[in-house]
Amino acid sequence: MIGKCKALLQRLPLYRLYLYLVKRYRFWVQDKKYPRVYRRYAKKTVDERKVLFLEIHHPTLSNSFSVVYDTLQKDGSYDLHCHYLLHTSSSPKAQRKVFLRFLRDLATAKALFLDEGTDLLSHVPVRKETVVTQLWHGCGAFKKFGWSVADLKFGADAAYMQDHPFHSHYSLVTVSSPAVVWAYEEAMGLPPGIVQPTGVSRTDVFFDKDFLASAKDRLLQTVSQAAQKKVLLYAPTFRGSIREATAPDVLDLSAMKAALGSDYVLLLKHHPHVKHRPPVPQDCTDFAFDVTETLPIEVLLCVSDVCISDYSSLIFEFALFERPMLFLAYDLEDYFDWRGFYYDYATLAPGPIVRTTAETIDVLTHLNTRFDAARVRAFREQFMSACDGQATRRILQFVFGTAGR
């Protein structure tokens, strides 16, 4: 009923006029007001100690920022400011207020860190003294984005992207290996030299022995049943648009428990964009645990013995551990048509591709013959070669000329 009413409203001339005026006002704010506000405050001197973090979607800093933030905070020489746009969950008016505060702060900042793109910065004349670093939120190069999907189902309008470039102010884009530089240059429309294989900051924790030990403790505090069993992680990406993201619901958890429950616990980690997650059946609550809200993905990657994913870039990070993974790609053709990949999926995936629960169980019960360790090592070398535990040091060297002073 709601959908029918919305469709009817959209056919009314006055409603279409209203939508047009709202759109024009948004463009005016973005193209005229934001630059004017920034210029007014940019007359002041840059504060060499001021560092900004702009979080686009989440109410707290994501793991893409955490290691850089913690390193600078521990150093004590910097004035750290965080801004939360809440792009998909707050009203346009609230977003404008946040962004205006951010612009006033940015005008005198030495450094800005992002982990996603935003068109809101497209016409802001960011001063050359400010170093803008895009840490990005994924490793490797898997699903297409940006200019790679312009005018396609998933992508934005090419004309709009041309007029409102999402990635025009970057001084540095950090990636996980030399092999993927080309994909980010294509997607972001950047010339050579800006995308650099520094390694990805948040992967530094995977080389930290203290972090690895604490990850195991956090798991057992949350899922005590994992103490005597192997850990199976299911971490799929979302389906559909960011604003209306849904989770896949194809695994038969009862069948998984019957076949694997004596050896494994199953941890479910859904994408943070998904608001309504599939429930765990009552008869599986001692086998399957939804830890989406309770355990961060970097902890889960450390403690998992096997990973089931689909099209998520977390497989690149999991490859650092050289453990088995498999790919539940039940909708591969539809997803490819919707989004597309930078590499042939069957060639890229460093593990078996399955489509059903039965096939998933079959692989997991025959891992001794189905796990190709050499293939995973080659995948790691191709896509994660710059991630060695020192990425944050290299990034801060670029931004500040020192390793965090």
Tokens of 81: 């400011």
Tokens of 128: 């050359």
Contact (CB, 8 A) for 49 and 116: no
Predicted confidence pLDDT, tens digits, the chain (405 residues): 555 555 555 566 776 766 667 667 677 778 899 999 999 999 999 999 999 999 998 899 999 999 999 999 999 999 999 999 987 667 888 888 999 999 999 999 999 999 999 999 999 999 999 999 999 999 999 889 998 988 777 778 889 889 889 999 999 999 999 999 999 999 999 999 999 999 999 999 999 999 999 999 999 999 999 999 999 999 998 887 777 888 888 999 999 999 999 999 999 999 888 888 999 999 999 999 999 999 999 999 999 999 999 999 999 999 999 999 999 999 998 888 778 899 999 999 999 999 999 999 999 999 999 999 999 999 999 999 999 999 999 999 999 985 443
For 70, the enclosing helix (H) or strand (E) is: helix 63-75
* Prediction pTM value: 0.89
Domain 205-384 indexed as CATH 3.40.50.12580: yes
Identify any residues that bridge with 114 across adjacent strands, giving them in sequence order.
Answer: 54, 134
pLDDT score recorded for residue 17: 66
pLDDT score recorded for residue 30: 84
For 3, the enclosing helix (H) or strand (E) is: helix 2-10
Contact (CB, 8 A) for 289 and 261: no
pLDDT score recorded for residue 403: 44
* Residue 202 CB burial class (10 angstroms; 0-12, 13-18, ≥19): buried
Give span(s): CATH 3.40.50.12580, the chain. Answer: 205-384
Contact (CB, 8 A) for 312 and 376: no
Phi-psi region of 91 (alpha: psi -120 to 50; beta: other; left: phi over 0): beta
| Angle 388-390-392 from CA coordinates, rounded to 5° | 130
Cβ count near 63 (within 10 Å): 16
Identify any residues that bridge with 170 across adjacent strands, giving them in sequence order.
Answer: none
pLDDT score recorded for residue 91: 85
Count of alpha carbons within 13 Å of 98, Cβ hemisphere only?
20
Task: Report the distance separating Cα 281 and Cα 290, nearest Å.
Answer: 11
For domain 17-203+388-400, which architecture applies?
3-Layer(aba) Sandwich (3.40)
Identify any residues that bridge with 265 across adjacent strands, giving them in sequence order.
Answer: 231
Phi-psi region of 177 (alpha: psi -120 to 50; beta: other; left: phi over 0): beta
> In the 8-state DSSP scheme, what is residue 293?
T
- Over residues 253-285, the pLDDT tens digits come to 999 999 999 999 999 999 888 888 999 999 999
pLDDT score recorded for residue 405: 34
pLDDT score recorded for residue 110: 98
Contact (CB, 8 A) for 65 and 113: yes
- Please say whether the dihedral angle defined by the alpha carbons of residues 363, 365, 366 and 370, taken in this order, is positive or negative: positive
Give span(s): CATH 3.40.50.11820, the chain. Answer: 17-203+388-400
* Tally of residues, the chain: 405
Q: What SS3 state is found at 358?
A: helix
Task: Report the distance separating Cα 199 and Cα 167, nearest Å.
Answer: 19
pLDDT score recorded for residue 314: 95
pLDDT score recorded for residue 88: 67
